[in-house]
Amino acid sequence: MVFTLVGLLLLGVLFQTVHNRTDYEFKNRINPRWENAIMVWIQHGYFKHGGLFFSKPGDADPAPEASGNSTMTFVQVNHLLQRIHVWLTGEPSSRLTAIHNQFFTMIASLILGLLAMRLTLSLGVPPWQSLLLGIGTQTVFQTFPINLGVIWDISSPNTATAFMLLFLLLEERVYTKGDSPKLQFFRGLVIFLLFYTDVITSWFFILSYIMIRILTAPKGFNFSIVFRVYVIPILIAYGFYTCQILLVKFNFPEMVFEKSVGQVLSRTGFDGETIYYLNHMDLLHDRWLLHLPSWRTLFYLGSLALIVAIVFAQLNKKYQIQQTILLAGLGMYIPLTFFLSEAVVIHPYNFDQQIAWAMILALFALLPAWLEKYNHFSGIFILFASLAAFAMSGLQLLSYWLHIPPWLVI
């Protein structure tokens, strides 16, 4: 409840400061593609179009085209909100879209804050101090410039971040309290939602997480649970997606899906194309962040904190769950960036959150908690971490505001 209230308070502050924009700016600055797809569903039939992305109604073209790269699950909440708004006013609302987009970053942030509190509590940090560390972590991630930029264009990886963090929160519960059929059900439900939201990043996340568990905690990894918690939910997600495809093909037999092996190959960078980047070192540059500010200072400090936190966890096997969670962020992001390097280079606003949360968790929660443990819980490192989180949040808001000033148009 506390983290939810903090998240809602931050959301209100954002819309009174850096997101205090006119309806004109929201309408003309937000990427219109998802709103257009939603209006096709509302005006021409959701099930007729299978809930997939159509830039125009299928009946409007003798050989219609649609994107088969996404289930469009990540805009379904906005779809329901827009249906209500269209029913009441007769037109969609871009401001409503903006609130929806920032709501999902708020959900991911409050889950990360709760995870930070629970991990630091296990180190013996007093409850109110763990709460401060959690709130600081939540605040930094919710004001993370790329998360702020999601207001203009949300994507499936942006939404999947919340489900990844929720899965790790449940795993932390299993580690500290033990497994149960109830926890297995909810983990399976989260896996289903994760894969049904974003297939690509989900595979990198789950496969790397299973590998990490097998390598670092083989005695605690039960292979009999894999089928119930992982395999069945993934198959159900693919089953739902297949039904969407079949429904569209039934309604539009001439349908052509914009999906090919060539597109996947180009995203790996293995096709030899050098228009967007030359080599993997370009992953360390921010030239494709466009109007968003760089976060490299946080990247380098967070990387150092992450390494130190993993070393501390290695020296104290009792807290291995911390290492597992941090490695889950690294284990997903590093293979993703090297196998789909071009996609990550030209779309950092879709993928950088996947590694930023691990660095923020290490820098503003786990490292201060470990230092407190070795300093007999004097409270000094909690104070420094809280002040640093407050300062970082302010700097991020200012940097975002300077890079994306408002359109002063009435």
> CB under 8 Å to 47, separation ≥6 — which residues?
247
Distance separating the N- and C-terminal Cα atoms of the chain:
38
Instruction: Report residue 313 as tokens.
Output: 């966890």
Q: What is the rounded CA–CA span in Å between residue 251 and residue 321?
A: 49
Percent of the chain with pLDDT over 90: 51
Kindly list the distances between the CA atom of residue 284 and the CA atoms of 301, 331, 337, 342, in Å, as whole numbers in the listed order: 14, 18, 11, 13
Half-sphere exposure of 313 (CA within 13 A, CB side): 23
- Determine if the pTM surpasses 0.85: yes
- What does the domain layout of the chain look like in residue ranges? 2-267+288-403
- Least confident range of 125-134, 258-267, 291-300, 372-381: 258-267
> How many whole angstroms separate alpha carbon 93 and alpha carbon 367?
43
Distance of CA 72 to the CA centre of its chain: 15
pLDDT digits (tens, 9 = 90+) for 348-388: 888 888 899 999 999 999 999 999 988 888 889 999 999 99
pLDDT band at 260; cut points 50, 70, 90: very low
Q: How confident is the model at residue 221 (pLDDT cuts 50, 70, 90)?
A: low
Question: Which segment, 43-52, 64-73, 161-170, is predicted with the most confidence on average?
Answer: 161-170
Residue pair 99/15 in contact by the 8 Å Cβ criterion: yes
Lowest pLDDT segment from 29-43, 260-274, 359-373, 381-395:
260-274
Choose the weakest-confidence range: 104-113, 276-285, 360-369: 276-285
- pLDDT on residue 121: 93
Average of per-residue pLDDT across 88-94 = 92
Question: Rounded distance, CA 62 to CA 323, Å?
Answer: 55
Tell me the pLDDT band of 261, cut-offs 50, 70 and 90.
very low
